[in-house]
Each structure stands twice: as structure tokens, then as C-alpha cells.
């Protein structure tokens, strides 16, 4: 079901008759809508006024470009759409005017009231096909829609203490899959900007993969020690130990909602992500 809310109406109208570049996008979001959503998401309050204005602008453009569909009869309000847009756009904050192109391979965001059960076929090493049931809080596919469970989106503020954020997790998968050959899966290595960390493209990719793999192995080991031997649980979500792509998505969640805690647990990983998400700041930093 497509939400016929103010955003949908605004989008149809704007696409038809008003060129985007002629307007101040942030003004499209009325204060009465902006303020309650902004206040609820306290992890955004560390942004500077300039960054907050930029996020508002990005969110307005995101809302124009995307369509929100409520699953199982869930009505999508303007507040819900803005809530999702703000979180989805947070990773794009320092990537300049073309940043939304990273989300250019899809239009639809499907929001279910709660987790959904998906039936899948899995082929084992002997070639036997098994029917499995997965419970999903969210899903992102290359070239396809993003699915989110509203119950998880709604708890974003309290989840931030644990470094969790469903919206950022799924949109990090989108970043990971974007600008790659069609059919490529997320692998934990998004396309890196030119000059990433002052390295050539080849060296930058090698550096990224080595650093991410090292942090991933460290996390896997910590999770295994906790699960098998009762050692203290690592702070970062154990789900990140299931695959490098999930580790990247889980690390992005923590980076955007509780960076201080991530930097304590994985300082090198935090630096790697900062150089990706804030390339100008990384270039300006004096080398030590
Ligand atoms: Zn995932």
C-alpha cells in the first residue's frame, strides 16, 4: 500500500513542475514536523548546526525521490517517513551534492509493523536444497527496495546506547553494493573515494580489506570466546561476526550512533570509517 501522505503529494508535484535546484530543500520540511523527530533521535544532537541543516536538506530530497509503502496495512505517517529519511541520510552527510546517487538504484522503502518471516531455499555442500525460515528485521538488495521493521526503527534512540541502528544497517548494505557490477553481493568493501587516505586506488582497497578483515577476525574471536567460554560479550553486535558484509553494516551502525564507544572497542576501524564517511576531514588532519 502506497502512503498518500504529504511527501508523496509533494514529490508528485515537484517532479511535475518545480526544478529542484531552484529551491532551498530544507524549507520543505516544516518545523512542526522536523522538531519532534529531531528531538527524538538524540544521537543526531552531536551534529553541528551546519551539519544539521545539511541533513535536513538531504532528508527533504530523499523524501522526494523515494516512495514509502506500508506492509500489512501499516499507515506511513509523515513523521515515520522523516524518521527513516534522517537516519538513512546520515551516512551521506559529507559526500557533497551528488551524495544521494548512492541510493539511486531503488525507489521503494517498505515498512512492516514488525519483523517478517521469509522462506528461502538454501543449497548445502552436497547439493541438497533445504527450505529455511528467516526472521528479518530489515533487508536490502542490490537494485531493489529496502525493507524495515518499524518496531526496530521506532527504538532507534534507545538502541543507540548499544550501537544498534536498523536503518543505518540496511542502508550501509546499499552503500556496500552500489557502484559495483550488477548481481554483486555486499562484501564489506564499498567503492572508496579517490585519494582515500592518501593512497592509490589499489593500495586503498588493499588497506581497507586488511583493516576490516583484522577487526572482523578480532570480533569473531571475541564473540566465540563469549559464546563458548563465557568471556565478557564484546560491545559491538555479535551479528557482525556472521560475515564481513554484516560486520561492515554493524560497524556503520555503531559509528553513526555511538562513535565514542566504537572508537574504544575498535580504534583502527573507527579511523577507517571516518576516512570513508568524512573524506575532507581525513585529508585535512595532519599526519602523525
Ligand atoms: Zn545485514
pLDDT tens, residue by residue, 227-248:
999 999 999 999 999 999 999 9
Pick the residue with more confidence: 24 or 50? 50
Pairing of strands 129-136, 116-123: antiparallel
Rounded Cα gap, residues 280 and 245, in angstroms: 25
- What percent of the chain lies above the pLDDT cut of 90? 77
CA distance 45 to 140: 27
Give distance in angstroms: CA of 83 to centre of ligand 1: 20
DSSP 2: B
* Assigned C-alpha cell, 223: 564473540
CA quadruple 46, 50, 53, 57: dihedral, nearest 10: -120
Give the distance (Å) from ligand 1 centre to CA of residue 12.
Answer: 32
In the predicted structure, residue 14 carries a pLDDT above the cut 50: no
* Mean per-residue pLDDT, 31-42: 96
Torsions phi, psi for 237 (to 5 deg): -55, 130
Give the angle 88-75-62 at the CA atoms, nearest 5°: 25
Distance CA 172, CA 159 (A): 17
Spacing, Cα 249 to ligand 1 middle (Å) = 6
pLDDT score for 27: 61
The CA distance from 247 to 141, in Å, is 17
26 C-beta neighbours (distance < 10 Å), count: 17
For 140-152, how does the pLDDT look when each residue is reduced to its tens digit (9 = 90+)?
A: 999 999 999 999 9
| Residues by chain with Cβ below 5 Å of ion ligand 1 | 246, 249
Residues making up the chain, counted from first to last: 288
- Averaged pLDDT for residues 283-287: 56
pLDDT value of position 160: 96
pLDDT digits (tens, 9 = 90+) for 155-202: 999 999 999 999 999 999 999 999 777 666 779 999 999 999 999 999
In this predicted structure, the answer to whether residue 21 has a pLDDT above a threshold of 90 is no
pLDDT tens digits along 105-135: 999 999 999 999 988 888 888 889 988 888 9
Distance CA(273)–CA(248), nearest Å, equals 9
For the chain, the average pLDDT equals: 89
Q: What is the CA 86 to chain-centroid distance, rounded? A: 11
* Dist. CA 75–CA 72, nearest whole Å: 9
Neighbouring C-beta atoms of residue 276, cutoff 10 Å: 23
| Ligand 1 midpoint to CA 239 (Å) | 8
For ligand 1, the distance from its centroid to the CA atom of residue 169, given in whole angstroms, is 6
Bridging pattern class, strands 146-149 and 138-140: antiparallel
What does the pLDDT read at residue 118?
A: 86
User: pTM to 2 decimals?
Assistant: 0.87
What integer pLDDT is reported at residue 164 of this predicted model? 97
Whole-angstrom distance, CA of residue 191 vs CA of residue 176: 7
Cell numbers for 61: 530530497
Q: Which of 16-25, 105-114, 258-267, 278-287 has the lowest mean pLDDT?
A: 16-25
Residue 132's pLDDT is 87
Q: Distance between CA atoms of 91 and 176, rounded to whole angstroms? A: 12
- State residue 285's pLDDT score: 56
Among 224, 66, 226, 215, residue whose Cα is nearest residue 148: 66
Contact (Cβ atoms closer than 8 angstroms) between residue 260 and residue 274:
no
- Please tell me the distance between residue 126's alpha carbon and the centre of ligand 1 in angstroms: 26
Amino acid at each position: 500500500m502506497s502512503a498518500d501522505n504529504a511527501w508523496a503529494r509533494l514529490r508528485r508535484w515537484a517532479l511535475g513542475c518545480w526544478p529542484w535546484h531552484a529551491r532551498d530543500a530544507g524549507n520543505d520540511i516544516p518545523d512542526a514536523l522536523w522538531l519532534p523527530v529531531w528531538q527524538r533521535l538524540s544521537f543526531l544532537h552531536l551534529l553541528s548546526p551546519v551539519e544539521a541543516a545539511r541533513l535536513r536538506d538531504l532528508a527533504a530530497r530523499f523524501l522526494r525521490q523515494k516512495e514509502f509503502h506500508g506492509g500489512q496495512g501499516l499507515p506511513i505517517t509523515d513523521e515515520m517517513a522523516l524518521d527513516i529519511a534522517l537516519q538513512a541520510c546520515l551516512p551521506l552527510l559529507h559526500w557533497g551534492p551528488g551524495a544521494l546517487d548512492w541510493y539511486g538504484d531503488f525507489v521503494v522503502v517498505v515498512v512492516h509493523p514488525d519483523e517478517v518471516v521469509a522462506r528461502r531455499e538454501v543449497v548445502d555442500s552436497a547439493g541438497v536444497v533445504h527450505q529455511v525460515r528467516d526472521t528479518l528485521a530489515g533487508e536490502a538488495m542490490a537494485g531493489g527496495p529496502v525493507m524495515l521493521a518499524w518496531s526496530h526503527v521506532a527504538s532507534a534512540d534507545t538502541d543507540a546506547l548499544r550501537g544498534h541502528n536498523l536503518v543505518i544497517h540496511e542502508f550501509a548494505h546499499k552503500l556496500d553494493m552500489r557502484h559495483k557490477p550488477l548481481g554483486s553481493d555486499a562484501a564489506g568493501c564499498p567503492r572508496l573515494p579517490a585519494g582515500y587516505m592518501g593512497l592509490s586506488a589499489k593500495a586503498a582497497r588493499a588497506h581497507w580489506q586488511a583493516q576490516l578483515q583484522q577487526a572482523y577476525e578480532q570480533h569473531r574471536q571475541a564473540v566465540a570466546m563469549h559464546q563458548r567460554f563465557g568471556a565478557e560479550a564484546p560491545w559491538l553486535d555479535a551479528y557482525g561476526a556472521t560475515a564481513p558484509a554484516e560486520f561492515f553494516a554493524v560497524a556503520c551502525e555503531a559509528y553513526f550512533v555511538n562513535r565514542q564507544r566504537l572508537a574504544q572497542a575498535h580504534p583502527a576501524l573507527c579511523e577507517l570509517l571516518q576516512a570513508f564517511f568524512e573524506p575532507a576531514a581525513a585529508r585535512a588532519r595532519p599526519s602523525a
